[in-house]
Amino acid sequence: MKAQLKAAKKVAELRKKLFAAPPAKKAAIKARLEAAKAKLARKAAKVFQISKRLDAAKIVAIRAKLAKVKNPEVKAALKAQLKAAKLVAELRKQLKAAQSGQKADIKA
């Protein structure tokens, strides 16, 4: 996550420089901006993979607890937790696959 945030800040910084730069330097800054965008995409993909694994591990842990519990109140709470964890995992998948215009709708 930190690497992704750092890459996003670099992209934002280069965009600001691009708008303020004289025409002679714009080509060099555009090249650096494209490289920074590619790095950001790689970092975002890595964060998604890690999040996917963490979501799966969380679901497995909740299922294991659910199998052991005998108390109906606790069981109901764990079922709700499991449902929420599955929803979060599904929304992450949709967010990854969505177009940029649809991402705001999914986040809301």
Q: Determine the Cα–Cα distance for residues 26 and 18; give it in Å rounded to an integer.
A: 6
What residue numbers bound the domain in which 68 lies?
2-107
Q: Which two tokens stand for residue 31?
A: 């090249």
Q: Residue 105: what pLDDT?
A: 65
**Total count of domains within the chain:** 1
Beta-carbon contacts of residue 103 (< 8 Å; ≥ 6 apart): 95
Structure pTM?
A: 0.59
Q: Residue 49: what pLDDT?
A: 84
Segment 61-104, tens digit of pLDDT: 999 999 999 999 999 999 999 999 999 888 888 887 776 666 66
Q: How confident is the model at residue 4 (pLDDT cuts 50, 70, 90)?
A: confident
Q: Residue 10: what pLDDT?
A: 86
Q: Determine the Cα–Cα distance for residues 83 and 78; give it in Å rounded to an integer.
A: 9
